[in-house]
C-alpha cells in the first residue's frame, strides 16, 4: 500500500505583529513606572531566546499599587453607575478581539503553547470572559445575592503561567464587574500578555488605579498576599503555595478563593464511542502540554477494551506534531520553563523506578528550549506517585477497572477533586457515574471544555470557591 502520510510544510505565524519593549515598568495608577532597578528576563521557552526584561515589584511598589487601587475604588469605580462600569468591560472585550492576533503571538512566544491554542482557545475565551461579566455589571441585584450586593474593595490576585491572559481574565473580569479594583501579579515566566493588557486598559480609558499589574517572582506574590490593605485574595497555582497563602490570610477579614492542582480521572467504559474517546483522552492530557490543572492525567479504561484503546491511542499520539509553537500545524509546544521540565522529568523517572512502563512516539525534540515528548505510562497502580501527584506535563498514567463501582472508587482515590471525564453511550451510566464522582467539573463524552457562563472550581486539595458563571460573582461580593 502506498504511504499516505502527509508531510507538512512549515506554516509559521509572523512575529511582526508583536512589538516588545526592551524593559517594562510596573503598571500602577494607570501608568507605567520606569523599570525597577532589579529586573528579570522572560524567555521564549521554545528556544531560550530572551524576550524582554521585566520589573520586580518590592513591598513599596506593592503598597503604591494597593493605595492606587483603594483610591480608585473609593473615588471612582464603586460610586460609578454599574451600567457605566459594564461599558468599560465591553470595551476591553472588544479591544482584546481587535488585538487578538497580537495577543496570541505574544502568548505563544512567552509561554511556549501552540499558536492554534492561543489563537483559538486562550484569547477568544479571555475576550468572552470580559464580554460575559460586562453583562452582569448592571444586573447584580438579580444574581441571587441579595437586593443590593456590594463590592468588597481591593482584590489581590496571583496567577500562574499555564494560561496567562485567560487566568487574568478569570480574575479581573468578575472583580471589575462587581465594582472592585485589583492588583494582579502574573507569573514570573509569563508576564508579557498581562503587560499588554495594561496597555489595553489605557486604550479603553479605564480610570487610573482600577487595574494595577505588579510583575516579579514569588516574593512579589508574597508581599501582595500579605498586604493588609486588600479585602480579597484570589490565587491560582500549586497546592503548596495555596496552603501558604491560606495560612497568611487566616485570621484576617479578607475573603479567599484558591484554585489549585488536580489529578483528573478520564473514565472510558466499554460502550464508549472509541474514536471520539481517543480524541478526548488526547485533548485531556496533551492540550497545552498537559499544563492544565483540570487535565485528564489518569486514564481509567475498562479492562475489556484496554488493549484496543491503547492501540488506537498510541496510533493517534504518533501523529501529533511537536515543535515550533508559532507553526499553525503544531499540536505540542514547549514546556514553559527549565524548572517545570525538571519536575516533569523527575516525576516520570519515579514512574519507571516504581515499575510502570513508559511509551513515547518516535519524535525528534528541538535542540534548544524545553521539550518533553508526549508520554503514556501503563502498568500503573494507585500507589505509584505518577498516579497520585500532579505532573503538570504531557504524561498520561493508564489504569484499568472492571466494574463501574471500581471506576468510581479509583477515580475518587485522590486528595484532589477538580475535574473528571466519563465516556459512555448510556445516559443512565453517565448520570450514575457523574453523581458519584467527587470533582468540581465532570465532562461527559468530551474534555477540557470551557465557557464563561459555567462555574469552575474544586474540592479538597484542589481548592475552594468558584470562578466563572453567576457563581463567580459571589467571590467578589459582600453577601
Ligand atoms: P506556583 O509556584 O504556585 O505559582 C503560581 C503563582 O504564585 C505565580 O505567580 C508565582 O509567582 C506565585 N507565587 C509563588 N510562590 C508564592 C508565594 N509564596 N506567595 C505568593 N505567591 C507566590 O506554581 P508554579 O511554580 O508555577 O507551578 C508549580 C506547580 O503548581 C506545577 O507543577 C503544578 O502542579 C501546579 N500548578 C497548578 C496550576 C493550576 O492552574 N491549578 C497552575 C500552575 C501550576 P512566580 O511564578 O513568579 O514564582
Ligand atoms: Mg517566558
pLDDT of 360 > 50? The answer is yes
DSSP-H helix ranges across 287-402: 303-318, 338-353, 385-388
| Cβ(137) – ligand 1 distance below 6 Å | no
Do β-strands 395-401 and 298-302 pair in parallel, antiparallel, or remain unpaired? parallel
Tell me, what DSSP letter sits at residue 163?
S
Mean pLDDT of the chain: 97
Cα(229) to centroid(ligand 1), Å: 23
Query: pLDDT tens digit string along 184-198?
Result: 999 999 999 999 999
pLDDT of 5 > 70? The answer is no
Query: pLDDT tens digit string along 320-334?
Result: 999 999 999 999 999
The mean pLDDT value for 288-312 works out to 98
Distance CA 445, CA 425 (A): 8
Whose Cα sits closest to atom 46 in ligand 1? 187
| Cβ(457) – ligand 1 distance below 6 Å | no
| Cβ(377) – ligand 1 distance below 6 Å | no
Distance CA 200, CA 165 (A): 12
Query: pLDDT tens digit string along 388-432?
Result: 999 999 999 999 999 999 999 999 999 999 999 999 999 999 999
Q: Which CATH superfamily is domain 23-259+459-478 in?
A: Aldehyde Dehydrogenase; Chain A, domain 1 (3.40.605.10)
Q: Model confidence at 3, in pLDDT bands (50, 70, 90)?
A: low
Q: What is the CA angle 262-177-179, rounded to 5?
A: 110
Q: Is 199 a catalytic residue?
A: no
Q: What is the CA angle 295-298-302, rounded to 5?
A: 130
Written as one string, the DSSP assignment of 369-434 is S-----EEEES--TTSHHHHS---SSEEEEEEESSHHHHHHHHH-SS--SEEEEE-S-HHHHHHHH
pLDDT of 346 > 70? The answer is yes
The mean pLDDT value for 218-229 works out to 98
Q: Which CATH superfamily is domain 265-444 in?
A: Aldehyde Dehydrogenase; Chain A, domain 2 (3.40.309.10)
Ligand whose nearest atom lies closest to the CA of 44: 2
Do β-strands 441-444 and 375-378 pair in parallel, antiparallel, or remain unpaired? unpaired
DSSP H/E element including 167: helix 164-177
Ligand whose nearest atom lies closest to the CA of 167: 1
Decide: pTM greater than 0.85.
Answer: yes
Three-class SS state of 275: helix
Q: Model confidence at 464, in pLDDT bands (50, 70, 90)?
A: confident
Report the Cα 194 to chain-centroid distance in Å.
14
Which of 237, 418, 419, 456 has most ligand 1 atoms within 8 Å of CB, for mutation?
A: 237
pLDDT of 267 > 60? The answer is yes
Given the residues 117, 293, 390, 474, the one annotated as active site: 293
Query: pLDDT tens digit string along 22-66?
Result: 999 999 999 999 999 999 999 999 999 999 999 999 999 999 999
Number of residues written out for the chain: 479
What are the Cα distances from residue 206, in Å, to 121, 181, 203, 286, 456? 25, 11, 8, 37, 28
| Cβ(343) – ligand 1 distance below 6 Å | yes
Position 426 scores a pLDDT of 97
Cα(245) to centroid(ligand 2), Å: 24
What are the domain boundaries of the chain?
A: 23-259+459-478, 265-444
Q: Is 201 a catalytic residue?
A: no
| Cβ(59) – ligand 1 distance below 6 Å | no
Q: Model confidence at 2, in pLDDT bands (50, 70, 90)?
A: low
Given the residues 13, 107, 188, 259, the one annotated as active site: 259
Dihedral class, residue 89 (left if φ above 0, else alpha if ψ from -120 to 50, else beta): alpha
Distance CA 46, CA 71 (A): 41
| Cβ(386) – ligand 1 distance below 6 Å | no
Query: pLDDT tens digit string along 160-181?
Result: 999 999 999 999 999 999 999 9
Position 1 scores a pLDDT of 47
Amino acid at each position: 500500500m502506498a504511504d499516505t502520510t502527509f508531510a507538512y510544510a512549515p506554516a509559521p505565524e509572523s512575529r511582526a505583529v508583536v512589538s516588545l519593549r526592551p524593559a517594562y515598568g510596573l503598571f500602577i495608577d494607570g501608568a507605567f513606572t520606569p523599570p525597577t532597578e532589579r529586573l528579570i528576563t522572560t524567555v521564549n521557552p521554545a528556544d531560550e531566546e530572551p524576550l524582554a526584561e521585566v520589573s520586580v515589584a518590592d513591598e513599596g511598589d506593592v503598597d503604591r499599587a494597593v493605595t492606587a487601587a483603594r483610591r480608585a475604588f473609593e473615588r471612582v469605580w464603586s460610586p460609578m453607575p454599574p451600567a457605566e462600569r459594564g461599558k468599560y468591560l465591553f470595551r476591553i472585550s472588544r479591544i482584546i478581539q481587535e488585538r487578538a492576533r497580537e495577543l496570541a503571538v505574544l502568548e505563544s512566544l512567552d509561554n511556549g503553547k501552540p499558536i492554534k491554542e492561543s489563537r483559538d482557545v486562550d484569547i477568544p475565551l479571555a475576550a468572552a470572559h470580559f464580554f460575559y461579566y460586562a453583562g452582569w455589571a448592571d444586573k447584580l441585584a438579580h444574581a441571587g445575592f441579595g437586593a443590593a450586593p456590594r463590592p468588597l474593595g481591593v482584590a489581590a490576585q496571583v496567577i500562574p503561567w499555564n494560561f496567562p491572559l485567560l487566568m487574568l481574565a478569570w480574575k479581573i473580569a468578575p472583580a471589575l464587574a462587581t465594582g472592585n479594583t485589583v492588583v494582579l501579579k502574573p507569573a514570573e515566566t509569563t508576564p508579557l500578555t498581562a503587560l499588554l493588557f495594561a496597555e489595553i486598559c489605557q486604550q479603553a480609558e479605564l480610570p487610573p488605579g482600577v487595574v494595577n499589574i505588579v510583575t516579579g517572582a514569588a516574593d512579589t506574590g508574597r508581599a501582595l498576599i500579605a498586604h493588609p490593605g486588600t479585602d480579597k485574595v484570589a490565587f491560582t497555582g500549586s497546592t503548596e503555595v495555596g496552603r501558604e497563602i491560606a495560612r497568611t490570610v487566616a485570621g484576617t477579614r479578607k475573603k479567599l478563593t484558591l484554585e489549585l492542582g488536580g489529578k483528573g480521572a478520564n473514565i472510558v467504559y466499554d460502550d464508549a464511542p472509541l474514536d471520539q474517546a481517543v480524541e478526548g483522552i488526547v485533548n485531556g492530557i496533551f492540550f497545552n502540554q498537559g499544563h492544565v490543572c483540570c487535565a485528564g492525567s489518569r486514564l481509567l479504561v475498562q479492562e475489556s477494551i484496554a488493549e484496543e484503546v491503547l492501540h488506537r491511542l498510541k496510533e493517534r499520539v504518533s501523529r501529533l506534531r511537536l515543535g515550533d509553537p508559532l507553526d499553525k500545524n503544531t499540536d505540542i509546544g514547549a514546556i514553559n520553563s527549565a524548572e517545570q521540565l525538571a519536575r516533569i522529568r523527575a516525576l516520570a523517572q519515579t514512574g519507571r523506578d516504581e515499575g510502570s512502563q513508559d511509551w513515547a512516539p518516535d519524535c525528534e525534540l528541538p535542540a534548544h528550549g524545553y521539550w518533553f515528548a508526549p508520554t503514556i505510562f501503563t502498568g500503573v497502580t494507585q500507589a505509584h506517585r505518577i498516579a497520585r501527584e500532579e505532573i503538570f506535563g504531557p504524561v498520561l498514567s493508564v489504569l484499568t477497572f472492571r466494574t463501574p463501582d471500581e471506576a468510581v472508587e479509583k477515580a475518587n482515590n485522590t486528595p484532589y477533586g477538580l475535574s473528571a471525564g466519563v465516556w459512555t453511550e448510556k445516559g443512565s451510566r453517565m448520570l450514575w457515574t457523574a453523581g458519584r464522582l467527587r470533582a468540581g467539573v465532570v465532562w461527559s463524552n468530551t474534555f477540557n471544555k470551557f465557557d464563561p457562563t459555567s462555574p469552575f472550581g474544586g474540592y479538597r486539595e484542589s481548592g475552594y470557591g468558584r470562578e466563572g458563571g453567576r457563581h463567580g460573582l459571589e467571590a467578589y461580593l459582600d453577601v
